[in-house]
Each structure stands twice: as C-alpha cells, then as structure tokens.
Homo-oligomer: A and B are copies of this chain.
Amino acid sequence: METKRTDIASLGEFGLIEHLTKALKPLNHSTVLGVGDDAAILDYKDKQVVVTTDLLLEGIHFDLTYVPLKHLGYKAAVVNFSDVYAMNAQPKQITVSLGLSKRFSVEDIEALYEGINLACSKYGVDVIGGDTSASYTGLTISITCLGEGDKETIVRRSGAKPSQLICVSGDLGAAYMGLQLLEREKTVFKGETEFKPAFEGKEYLLERQLKPEARKDIIERLAENDILPTSMIDISDGLSSELMHLCKNSEVGCRIYEDRIPIDYQTAVMAEEFNMNLVTAALNGGEDYELLFTVPIELHDQVAAIEGVRIIGHTTEKDLGAALITRDGLEVPLKAQGWVAPM
C-alpha cells in the first residue's frame, strides 16, 4: 500500500496553518485568542509570565532516520514545557514555527503536529500561533513556550545559599544511552531501506531518548508538600553542566556524591555493553529533562520522603568550587562539557 503524499504547496501557507490548528479548542482561560490574527491575545491577570524558546535544526538536533515525526513533535513541545516547570511555573501556550523543504508532505507535517498536539493535550497547553515557511534544506522547528506562575513561588537559578541540599528527580544518563543505541543501529542498518532494529530489553533507554516527559508531577508533589526550592534548573545538557550554571548564578560551590547519583539498571547494562564510564554518562549525557533543585537543609525529611526525588549532595561556600566525591572518597572537580544535545 502506498503512503498518501499531499504536496504542501497545494494547501499554501495559510491553508496549512488552518488545516493544522482548526481542531484545537483553547484549554486555558488565559488564552483569549489563538491562531488567526496578527498576534495571539493572552490574559494572565495577576500571574507572572515566563517565556522560553528552542530552535531545532535537522541534522544538528535530530536525525529523521530513527526519530519518527510524531515523536519529534512530542519531544520538541515537551522540552519547552520542561524549561517552564524548571521555573516552578505551568506551561500554558506555545507558538510553533516550521521551515519545510520539499521533501516533506502535508501528511508528514500532520504527523509532526499529532505529536505536538498530544503533548499539548497531556500537559494542558494551547497552540496559539506560528509560522510555516518553505526551506531549501531539511526541517526547522522553532517553539516558544509561555507559562504562568505566582510572583512569590517562581524559582530562579540564582536563589541557592551555602549548606542547602541538592536534589535531582528521576534518573540520569538513560536518554544519552538511548541515543548511543540508535546511532549504533543506524550504522548497522546503513544502506538498508527500512530501519527496523531489535531493541528488546532496552525500551526504557529508547523512550527516554525519543519520548521524554517533563516533570510536571514533581512540581506538583513539591507544592503539595509545601516545599519551595531555593533554586531550580532542568537537566538538558547533563547534570555537571547544569549544576555549574546553578552554582554560578547562585554564587555557591557544591559537593555531590557519586554513589547518590540516580541511574537506572538498563543505563548501567548499556554502559557496560558500550564499555563507557557510567558516571561520565550520567554527569554529561544530556537530554534527561529531569529537575535539579536546592532546598533548605531543614526540609531534609520532607524532600527525602518524595518518591522520585534523590538528595545527591549539598551546596557550599563559593570558593570551595564544584566537585564530585567518588565512591573512594576522592574529590574530583566538575567540568561543564558543553554538550550540544542531538534529539
């Protein structure tokens, strides 16, 4: 059976945007007017607004050999939501701009939007605008996300003080291992027309790479337990790099403990298979989209009781710098690897 392939030019730019967004009903009170005017109109009343943006380029941030368009759309939306949660705010609206080469059909873009819309409906976010344009090469996705928070509870990177607890949600390094796995299978399948590798027993790694989630649940649990982090950041470029951002912005140092870093069993198995250093993967892997945050030491018991959160160390005075304490008790200075995350 042949796949249907409708030329984008047959709908035109206006037709395409209408086609993709006509089914969308606003989910939020703050969305006054969505797609269809010179600009969208929002009303946040007494809330503060947070804004974040991400540009994703084919070949740099994603490889369509092994990333289905629906997954790509889902992930492109979710990584923006993650930035908003990292402010202790709630994502409410996104704009989506697409640059499309002739390689892409209307059905392709429908698949991409299926993923975007799925993420939006799961996280309660409205698509309020965007732009589609022809492109000479590949696929370009630019998403801007707006969210809302209360002035008193929005959390920045800069609020940590010395001697506070450093916490992280979920586990680290799995998305990076998922990427290694996909890259390896891609090499194996080079030249074959269909990419159908066997990934049994490694589903978690693939899911973390291809369909990450933003930690809305952690934000909710913290609020339920009256825990307001003093600083927070999401882990997109690796724990090490994000921890250094947090320390720099807060003007503190830190000590984290190797044996406290949360790592999933599949991640460990895969690291051994690839003969890679597991801790390095967890520290520098990137694309975890977990939350890294600090809390006052008085909240130790409350935060330790939250499922899915691990205390991995503590902040120090600034002049002590940022370091990892290994299992052997050695102190190793942390380095930001400046990981440019593919997706």
Residues of A within 8 A of B (CB): 12-14, 32-33, 36-46, 48-55, 57, 59-61, 83-84, 86-87, 89, 93, 95, 97-99, 128-131, 133-138, 140, 142, 144-147, 149, 151, 154, 156-158, 232-234, 249, 338, 340
Contact = CB atoms under 8 A, between A and B. Distances in A.
Contacts of A39: 50-52, 83-84, 86-87, 89, 145, 147
A274 B84 CA distance: 52
A277 to B, nearest CB: 23
A159 to B, nearest CB: 11
A319 to B, nearest CB: 22
Which 9 pairs from chain A and chain B are nearest by CB? A142-B142, A55-B97, A39-B52, A39-B50, A38-B86, A144-B144, A42-B49, A38-B83, A53-B95
Nearest to A52: B39
A54 B39 CA distance: 11
A25 to B, nearest CB: 18
How many monomers of this protein are in the complex? 2
A83 B86 CA distance: 30
Contacts of A340: 13, 133-134
B133 A249 contact: no
A133 B276 CA distance: 27
A59 B136 CA distance: 7
21 contacts: A13-B338, A33-B156, A36-B157, A37-B158, A38-B52, A38-B86, A39-B89, A42-B48, A42-B51, A51-B128, A51-B129, A53-B129, A53-B131, A55-B99, A57-B140, A60-B99, A61-B133, A95-B144, A99-B140, A133-B340, A137-B138
A84 B140 contact: no
Contacts of A87: 37-39, 41
A136 B55 CA distance: 14
Given A134-B340, A234-B38, A49 B52 contact: no
Contacts of A60: 99, 133-136
A95 B51 contact: yes
A37 B83 CA distance: 9
Contacts of A44: 44, 49
A130 B54 CA distance: 7
Contacts of A232: 38
A43 B38 contact: no
A149 B37 CA distance: 15
B157 A37 contact: yes
A156 B128 CA distance: 15
Contacts of A234: 38
A81 B263 CA distance: 47
B32 A40 contact: no
A326 B253 CA distance: 74
A249 B55 contact: no
Given A39-B145, A137-B137, 15 more contacts: A13-B338, A33-B156, A37-B156, A37-B233, A38-B84, A38-B157, A39-B50, A39-B89, A40-B52, A41-B48, A44-B44, A53-B144, A60-B136, A99-B140, A133-B340
